[in-house]
Amino acid sequence: MTPEIYGNDAALRLIRTMAASGRLPHACLLWGEAGTGRKTIAHYLAMAALCTGPHPPCGTCPSCRKLLHGSHPDLTVVEHSGKKNGFSVETVRHVCKDAIVAPNDGACKVYLFADCDYMDVRAQNTLLKLTEEPPPHVRLLFTAAHPEAFLETMRSRMMSIPIRQCTREECRTALTTQHGYAPAEAARAAEACGGSIGRALAWLADEGMQTLTGHAAALTDAAADGTLYEMLRILAGYEKDRQSAAALLRLLDLQVRDALVMQYGQTDLAGCDRESAAHLSKTLTAGRAEQMHDAIREAQEALLASVSVRLVLSALGGRLCMISEKGRGYVSASGGRI
Ligand SMILES: [Zn+2]
């Protein structure tokens, strides 16, 4: 059995069609946001390239079985090396040398360079010749967030396949059927992570992340209602942790963005909680969304500039309350501004 891959039917179909007609490209880039399954699809492509069955990838031939067990000698997952999660020139040279040698088992040798976002110019230039004129038995696979991670010279030599994020529904199914999570837990994770299976798995494993998304949702509600004290209460929990405070503000900013796009009927949401975004959406205007975004951005800049976290957060709470429709009413009724 080939592994069940959720979402990205078009990419999988393309890979199967190319494999069936023996036209898999020598170099291929699978690009999309982290957590969308780029690496899983790269393994699927490797399986299609090495499969010896009649309908590649069959999932049952000896080659596919070895790949499923992670023991195929002709698939090399190149390890990161050098600075900043990149690939050192030495590592790339080693691959270029190894690529000349004929395959061990199958008809080809597959090299997977995953997460190439920090592959520097020197490493890419070292790899250029192999990408331009690979021996007939070599297949190079790359994954990255954007094609722009590569030099134009490299990019023009590889086939580029976009990998999209799963829907929340697909994410939920993957979490329950493949990873054994209970339906309610899977639903919460899929919702909090906008359908990204990779992010949802990280979220489920990290209680801190779950608390953070819960607070971002509560903060969105408080901003919608203009309840200053509720906002300050949540923000006060982050006074001693600059990094978590910054993460919370990033999530809040996405919630504001979602609340605004909901007004235009868009369903392409990026935030961590649909319900509170919908709540905020009811009272939001484009102008108010912009003011909130500016307030959050300025607070983020102040956090980066080492201003006291406590000060930044209480100032932000006050500003968000003033911006909210109800907060304005409350402030003017009490005869003064915060
Ligand atoms: Zn097979």
- Ligand 1 centroid distance, CA of 35 (Å): 26
Report every protein residue that has its C-beta within 5 angstroms of ion ligand 1: 51, 53, 58, 61, 64
pLDDT of the chain along its 338 residues, tens only? Answer: 666 787 788 899 999 999 999 999 999 999 998 778 899 999 999 999 999 999 999 999 999 999 999 999 999 999 999 877 899 999 999 999 999 999 988 889 999 999 999 999 999 999 999 999 999 999 999 999 899 999 999 999 999 999 988 888 899 999 999 899 999 999 999 988 888 888 899 999 999 989 999 999 999 999 999 899 999 999 999 999 999 999 999 999 999 999 999 988 877 777 889 899 999 999 899 999 999 999 999 999 999 998 999 999 999 999 998 888 765 544 444 444 43
- Ligand 1 centroid distance, CA of 72 (Å): 12
Do residue 188 and residue 105 come from a single domain? no
- Ligand 1 centroid distance, CA of 55 (Å): 7
Does the residue 4 lie in any domain?
no
CATH, residue 97 = 3.40.50.300
Does the residue 312 lie in any domain?
yes
CA 2/CA 296 separation, integer angstroms: 45
Do residue 237 and residue 272 come from a single domain? yes
- State the Rg of the chain over Cα: 24
CA 157/CA 160 separation, integer angstroms: 9
- Ligand 1 centroid distance, CA of 54 (Å): 8
Q: Within 13 Å, how many C-alpha atoms sit on residue 159's CB side?
A: 16
Please state the domain count of the chain: 3
Dihedral sign from CA coordinates of 223, 226, 228, 230 = negative
Does the residue 190 lie in any domain?
yes
